[in-house]
Structure 1
Amino acid sequence: MKQFRLVLISLLIFSCNSKKRENISEVSVDNTFNNLTNLVDAFAENIIKNGNANSFAVAIYKDGEMYQNYYGEIDKGANNKPDDSSLYEIASITKTFTGSLVAKSVLAGKISLDDDIRKYLDGDYSNLEYEGQPITIKHLLTHSMGLKNKLTKGFEAIRNKVTTGTYDYKTDSYTIDDLLDELKNVEVNKKPGTVYAYNSLGPELLAHILEKVNKKLFKEQMNTFFKELGMNDTYLDESQKHKERLVKGYKGEIEEPTDHDPVYGAAGGAISTLPDMAKYMRYLIDNKNETWVKEASRVLFTDPEDDEQIGYLWQSIDIAEEEGYYYSKTGTSNRIQSGILICPDSNYGIILMVNNTSDEAIRDWELLFFRDIEPMVIKYPKLDLSSVFKTDFYENPIKAYKNFRTLKSDTITYHFELRDLNNFGYDLLNEKENQKSIEVFKFLTEEFPKNANFYDSLGEAYFVKGDYQNALISFKKALELNPDMKTSKDYIKKIEDIIIEKS
């Protein structure tokens, strides 16, 4: 599966006091699902120890089972773990709600995807076309308007104030009237529908169009939609009203300002709790055959640059070999990074939010989402033995070796990929845990003595440590098993050059 990103451990069987299990029609307790969520807990608790992220909020829905939990502290050292009342800025995930309202209006015959947007704008907008091709509803939905600049000057100025924390709610303002006025002077320098350029103007214009066709304020439409989804603790453009419950966020150690999305907030102005976001995820999966859900999640445009497929403001839509159809969206405010992944064909979804937007924290967010949680959920109800091994190793390496040897033959309960085990060794190496990395690779060569790649990896771990003698032994063993192992040949040459230099 292509990872949706800004780009984006193991079986410690312990329980967390903050563990939340949603009651889905009195769901029976499934030990396998408990084991999966214990692994999730262990991964999250372990990655928090890196010190980059303040706190994580996680929700997983799979085959009718829901799991929600929180890790870390909103403010480091304050012992204030997030909870079910904590409100998060979901930023651009707001766009998916806007897109869904458009999908409903399309199905109702009130809007056509091929409508020239000038049909809904009062005044002269002769500039909103390129070589006879007008900007259409579809182009607003897929970030392919063809504009020279992503934002108008006024919109950009307001966003800069928000980002720098200088926005004043009492005196600063940018309304739909301001946007429509500036829109008369924008330049369309590319054919609409040909170039992907992520922007916030499209969703705000869609909100204006929705007001016109539905004859109802956009905020009212959104609030009604939230309630239809069971999201009674989700709000549009009300950060100031609910600021006491709003999760503070950081960039590194610096507290970042509250986000604000000008105009309607259609591009990124919603705030929500983890339980409400979990309800959204569950609704989309349980009601995957509902007409508006299918319409809102279908592909409308493929970005020619990276082949990413876009729908009604959903992104990274595709079909994966194991998971089937999936779609996703990330959201990044000044201080919150969030993501939602929906896999309707395999009946699962994942939500992950972190209240720190430093590069390091976002990298941890990506690792927790894509490296740790998602692969386990894909294979469920089988448990990932690689994940079990990793968590056991952090607790007690001897226990990890013993359990792996005992469990690896139980192919009914467990599965594992050799590359995942190998990657764990490299994770340790990247974390400067050189000796632990060597121990893992040594264990793997003992368990899989005919695997040349494990010997090659062991050689690299020895090389990083500066133990060239053992590195040579490992690389030569790798070549004995696979004479075409290029990395082993390259490292042997490096070692020989180092020895010659020293002599």
Structure 2
Amino acid sequence: MKHLKVIFLFLILANCNSSKESKEVMISEGKTFQMFAEIVDQYAENTLQNGNVNSFALAIYKDGEMYHNYYGEIDKVANNKPNDSSLYEIASITKTFTGSLVAKAVLEEKINLDDDIRKYLEGDYSNLEFKGHPITIKHLLTHSMGLKNKLTKGFEAIRNKVTNGTYDYKSDVYTIDHLLKELKAVEVDKQPGTIYAYNSIGPELLAYILEKVNKKPFAQQIEMFFKELGMNDTYLQASQNFIERLVKGYKGDVLAPIDHDPVYGAAGGAISSLPDLAKYMQYLIENKNEPWVKETSRVLFVDKEDDEQIGYLWQNIDTAEEEGFYYSKTGTSNRIQSGILICPDSNYGIILMVNNTSDEAIRDWEQLFFRDIEPMVITYPKLNLSSIFRLDFNDNPSKAFQNFRNLKSDTVTYDFALNDLNNFGYDLLNEKQYKQSIEVFKFLTEEFPENANTYDSLGEAYFVIEDYKKALESFNKALELNPDMKTSKDYIKKIEKITLQKS
């Protein structure tokens, strides 16, 4: 890991309209922030060593401070690290811009969420209803239109060409006129507003409706929105204009084709730099009480099947014990996996992008985002001792144990959750690092001898390696501390059954 000699803080000017770029100001190399940044960097560098990912771009906002960095190379062994001028295909994160414009139109009473969308369509669209229940603006925003097929044939054909790299920008044209014509033949086979089915048609129709009510081209509206937020390096449907700056991406080891979103690009056609996305994140957090920001993050639909709440094309809206209220959006193009998390109650946000969309790369991206980085952001300005322990353990288990013992009493500087440490043991167990997993669980039983769950976990690790004698000892100790520990009881029954079968 390269240690940072200078730590930077992005300060976004309060008046975004008058600012053409963000100021980059050197801040004090305070021990806590420097250690926080170095831990983040080390986790990113360690993830790169898995070999599944080319490069990461990361931005973290917390309590007025912004940290951003780049890791790896766009092309492996090419010495072309991403930088502030790199442009990323942010795919479905574009939908949140479209949703924001709709939220503004709703507040201005130009649109009503319960409007039948046929109010804004010219011609006969009698098919756009199910048993008298029409498709409304809200259904477009929440992917609950009730369509039998997620895409029309023409739209799907274009998307297939984009995915397989055969799309021709000159000859393969699909406009709003094509979509409106095909819309007359779609089938609505479910009551709108009842079933969640992620699709791109809704945002494109919303762009068309916004043109109707605002009497301006959608591209002009979105450009004005970017300028309001100071996002002067974000563009819609402009990949071909920025080929040299556009970050190449891979599907495993294979170079993936440039992405393209049909019609307006309202569902996924934006490209942006990391600093610009950081401005967007910071604006949403610092202006959380601004009417349109509150409206766009409001829950409009609950997907009961996946237990997910949807807003104005934002997803995963909820409230957590530590984070408070939060909402997020991910984007997956041919080349880039991206994600933005907004936690206004806890005053933090995270953006993470990776230029590889293989299953292994997306798994590494997800673990780096939510398992490694977010816990540290939640506890900052206290340093997350669980995260430090994980890094120390991977380098030297004895060092990890000693450091934890030395630091855990410093509750002013450090914070940790026993559950996070226990989960680390399970991560090792799931990775079949049995010896290391048992080392972690044994250490936790020694450090927290009154905690039944640590003994239960140790017993499970012994059970996996078929050391049933030690597993029983651990499970019995867990029950001694907590007679209601169900998992220990269940495992004891399993061991008894196995013992009888062998006898």
TM-score of the two chains, using structure 2 as the length reference: 0.91
Structure 1 residue 497: Cα displacement:
5.9
* Structure 2 residue 61 is matched with structure 1 residue 61: yes
d(CA) in 1 for partners of 2:498, 2:308:
45
Identity of matched residues, %: 77
Structure 1 residue 495: Cα displacement:
5.0
* Structure 2 residue 384 is matched with structure 1 residue 384: yes
Q: In structure 2, what residue type is equivalent to 1:63?
A: D
Structure 1 residue 281: Cα displacement:
0.2
2:17 aligns with none
Contact 1:74 1:248 in 2 (8 A): yes
String of CA shifts for 1:94-150, please: whole Å, max 9, x gaps.
000011111122222322222222222122212212222222222211112121211
d(CA) in 2 for partners of 1:279, 1:52:
29
Q: 1:352 to 1:18 in 2, by over 3 A?
A: farther
Q: In structure 1, what residue type is equivalent to 2:426?
A: Y
Of stretches 445-454 and 88-97 in structure 1, the one that deviates more from structure 2 is 445-454
Structure 1 residue 234: Cα displacement:
0.8
Task: Please show how residues 412-431 of structure 1 align to structure 2 within 5 Å.
Answer: 412-431=412-431
1:6 aligns with none
Contact 1:18 1:69 in 2 (8 A): no
Task: Please show how residues 17-416 of structure 1 align to structure 2 within 5 Å.
Answer: 20-23=8-11, 28-29=27-28, 30-416=30-416
d(CA) in 1 for partners of 2:307, 2:481:
39
Contact 1:19 1:69 in 2 (8 A): no
Contact 2:118 2:125 in 1 (8 A): yes
Structure 1 residue 379: Cα displacement:
2.2
Structure 1 residue 294: Cα displacement:
1.6
Q: 1:491 to 1:106 in 2, by over 3 A?
A: closer
Contact 2:9 2:27 in 1 (8 A): no
Secondary structure of the 1:345 match is coil
d(CA) in 2 for partners of 1:254, 1:502:
51
1:8 aligns with none
d(CA) in 2 for partners of 1:150, 1:437:
44
2:15 aligns with none
d(CA) in 2 for partners of 1:27, 1:107:
40
d(CA) in 2 for partners of 1:176, 1:70:
38
String of CA shifts for 1:397-451, please: whole Å, max 9, x gaps.
2221122111111222222211111111111222232222222222212212232
Contact 1:452 1:477 in 2 (8 A): yes
Q: In structure 1, what residue type is equivalent to 2:9?
A: R
Secondary structure of the 1:74 match is coil
d(CA) in 1 for partners of 2:327, 2:262:
27
Structure 1 residue 491: Cα displacement:
4.2
Secondary structure of the 1:60 match is strand
* Structure 2 residue 3 is matched with structure 1 residue 15: yes
Q: 1:27 to 1:284 in 2, by over 3 A?
A: farther
Structure 1 residue 489: Cα displacement:
4.5
Structure 1 residue 291: Cα displacement:
1.9
2:18 aligns with none
Secondary structure of the 2:40 match is helix
d(CA) in 2 for partners of 1:282, 1:27:
18
Q: In structure 2, what residue type is equivalent to 1:104?
A: K
Q: 1:486 to 1:121 in 2, by over 3 A?
A: closer
Stretches of structure 1 that go unaligned for 5 or more consecutive residues are: 1-11
Contact 1:336 1:355 in 2 (8 A): yes
Contact 1:18 1:70 in 2 (8 A): no
String of CA shifts for 1:326-368, please: whole Å, max 9, x gaps.
1111111122111111111221111111111222221121111
d(CA) in 2 for partners of 1:493, 1:424:
26
TM-score of the two chains, using structure 1 as the length reference: 0.91
Secondary structure of the 2:223 match is helix
d(CA) in 1 for partners of 2:462, 2:109:
66
Structure 1 residue 264: Cα displacement:
0.6
d(CA) in 2 for partners of 1:479, 1:345:
39
d(CA) in 2 for partners of 1:123, 1:300:
29
Q: In structure 1, what residue type is equivalent to 2:280?
A: Y
Structure 1 residue 481: Cα displacement:
3.5
Contact 2:7 2:34 in 1 (8 A): no
Q: In structure 2, what residue type is equivalent to 1:148?
A: K
**Root-mean-square deviation over aligned CA pairs:** 2.3
Give the total of aligned pairs.
491
Secondary structure of the 2:442 match is helix
Q: In structure 2, what residue type is equivalent to 1:458?
A: L
d(CA) in 1 for partners of 2:437, 2:304:
40
Q: In structure 2, what residue type is equivalent to 1:402?
A: Q
d(CA) in 2 for partners of 1:22, 1:277:
12
Q: 1:263 to 1:463 in 2, by over 3 A?
A: same
Secondary structure of the 2:267 match is coil
Of stretches 46-55 and 476-485 in structure 1, the one that deviates more from structure 2 is 476-485
Stretches of structure 2 that go unaligned for 5 or more consecutive residues are: 13-22
d(CA) in 2 for partners of 1:22, 1:70:
15
Structure 1 residue 496: Cα displacement:
5.8
Secondary structure of the 1:187 match is coil
Q: 1:336 to 1:17 in 2, by over 3 A?
A: farther
Structure 1 residue 190: Cα displacement:
2.0
d(CA) in 1 for partners of 2:408, 2:39:
17
Structure 1 residue 471: Cα displacement:
3.8
d(CA) in 1 for partners of 2:247, 2:134:
42
Highest RCO, 1 vs 2 (Cα 8 Å, sep ≥ 6): 1
d(CA) in 2 for partners of 1:235, 1:17:
33
Structure 1 residue 178: Cα displacement:
0.4
d(CA) in 1 for partners of 2:302, 2:502:
55
Q: In structure 2, what residue type is equivalent to 1:341?
A: L
Contact 2:7 2:27 in 1 (8 A): no
Structure 1 residue 36: Cα displacement:
2.3
String of CA shifts for 1:181-235, please: whole Å, max 9, x gaps.
0011111222222222211001101111112222222112111211211111111
Contact 1:89 1:272 in 2 (8 A): yes
Structure 1 residue 90: Cα displacement:
0.5
Q: In structure 2, what residue type is equivalent to 1:32?
A: T
Q: 1:19 to 1:70 in 2, by over 3 A?
A: farther
